[in-house]
Structure formats: C-alpha cells, structure tokens
A and B are shown apart, each in its own frame.
Chain A
C-alpha cells in the first residue's frame, strides 16, 4: 500500500509570507504527527492529530498550526515566516495511538525561507 505522502517536496518562501504543507497518511491511519528537523535542533515534535482533533502540541509558537480532515489528511500552516523556519518538515502516520505501535514517516517537505 502507498506510504505517507507529503507535498510539496520543496518550497521557497519569503520572510513574512505564510505556507501550507500537506500530508496524506497511509490508508486507514488516523493519527498524524508533524516534526521539524533542523541542523541545530534536530528532530522536534510539532503536534499530533487524531480524529480531526489536536491531541498534543510541542513547544512551538502559535505561528505554527495544523488541522486534520475527515479523511485523515493533514495540513500544517506556518504564518509570518522567519528565516529560522527553514527546515525539513516531516509528517508521520500511525494506525493506532499509544506506545506499542510504530510510526511511518513521509519524505518530508524542505522549506527554505529567504
């Protein structure tokens, strides 16, 4: 079956703009989580959605937001982009919640803010 799909793969935006990234989870998976990866901070958890509700949020400013649709597809939005938002944004899906299960990651969206 198809894996986690993230679009677009690459994006260049200007400071002050906003951006929306998309994630389609594996069919049947209802949990979608987002991560930011930068050389300085490594992989950091942004938020998790399950059944269209945000269940958990990492330590990021309110400029970072997301949502999940009834078909489990998820989007994340970053408003008022800053240079420091340049990163690889990764989405992961999981069939169930809880610690006794694995997550499947997409290839990521590489965002460059100039």
Chain B
C-alpha cells in the first residue's frame, strides 16, 4: 500500500480556514485519496475522497496537486467541533476489498 505523510499536529483559530497537507509521493495512477477524521471518543468519520480533480462537499474541499504527489484538505471555517485527528489514506483501484490503512494522522487543535 502506498504511504502518506502528514504533520503530527496543527493548530487553527475558530472560524478561520484550515489547510491540512498530505504527501503521497509514491501514489499510483489508480490510487484514490481519502480523508477520514476521528473526533474524541468516536469512530472515524468519512470526510471526502477524490482521484484527480479537486472535490467539494458539505464538509470540506480536497485540492489535489497536478502531479498527484500531494493533496490538501481544506476546512473553510473551522469550528470547535472540527478538532479531531485527520487521516489521509490512499485506496488502490485494484484493491476491491474495503481495507483502510491508517497512518498516525494530523491532530487538529481549534482555538476559540
């Protein structure tokens, strides 16, 4: 499975945008980029995923570099509820199973 690299922690102020980076220099052409987050005392929660183009949903935006070797999860206005560990995960199109390989993720702290 291709590997991702994320900063251990980041801080943000409430109501400001947050950009969470992820490096995946060994990504293959068939790998999808997924983001999940885990709030304290809860199971992980799906955030967004994409293959090549930038993606938007009600929770966040995913910006994918043109060479696909990095991506950025964008929370447009951070709230206290967004304080969580964010995981960037690659999923191989050739892997038909549903297996997520979690790294250590980025712990996001949101200051009021």
Chain B residues near A94 (CB-CB < 8 A): 98
Task: Flag the segment in A14-22, A71-79, A98-106 that touches B.
Answer: A98-106
Chain B residues near A45 (CB-CB < 8 A): 99-101
| A interface majority secondary structure | strand
Chain A residues near B31 (CB-CB < 8 A): 99
User: B42 and A99: CB pair below 8 A?
Assistant: no
Task: Flag the segment in B18-26, B61-69, B70-78, B88-96 that touches A.
Answer: B88-96
Q: Which of A33-64 contact B (CB under 8 A)?
A: 33, 35, 42-45, 48, 50, 55-56, 58
User: A107 and B92: CB pair below 8 A?
Assistant: no
Which listed residue (A44, A56, A108) contacts B97, Cβ 8 A? Answer: A56
Least CB distance, B9 to chain A, in whole angstroms: 15
User: A98 and B93: CB pair below 8 A?
Assistant: yes
User: A43 and B102: CB pair below 8 A?
Assistant: yes
Q: Which of B38-84 contact A (CB under 8 A)?
A: 42-46, 49, 51
Which listed residue (B46, B99, B102, B103) contacts A102, Cβ 8 A? Answer: B46
User: B99 and A42: CB pair below 8 A?
Assistant: no
User: A107 and B98: CB pair below 8 A?
Assistant: no
| Docked CA distance A102–B43 (Å) | 14
User: B98 and A97: CB pair below 8 A?
Assistant: yes
Interface residue B104 (Cβ < 8 Å from any Cβ of A): yes
Which listed residue (A50, A55, A58, A99) contacts B32, Cβ 8 A? Answer: A99
| Docked CA distance A99–B33 (Å) | 9
Chain A residues near B100 (CB-CB < 8 A): 33, 35, 43, 45, 92, 103
Chain B residues near A44 (CB-CB < 8 A): 102
User: B43 and A48: CB pair below 8 A?
Assistant: no
The closest CB in chain B to the CB of A31 belongs to B98
| Docked CA distance A58–B102 (Å) | 12
User: A55 and B102: CB pair below 8 A?
Assistant: no
User: A55 and B97: CB pair below 8 A?
Assistant: yes
User: B44 and A48: CB pair below 8 A?
Assistant: no
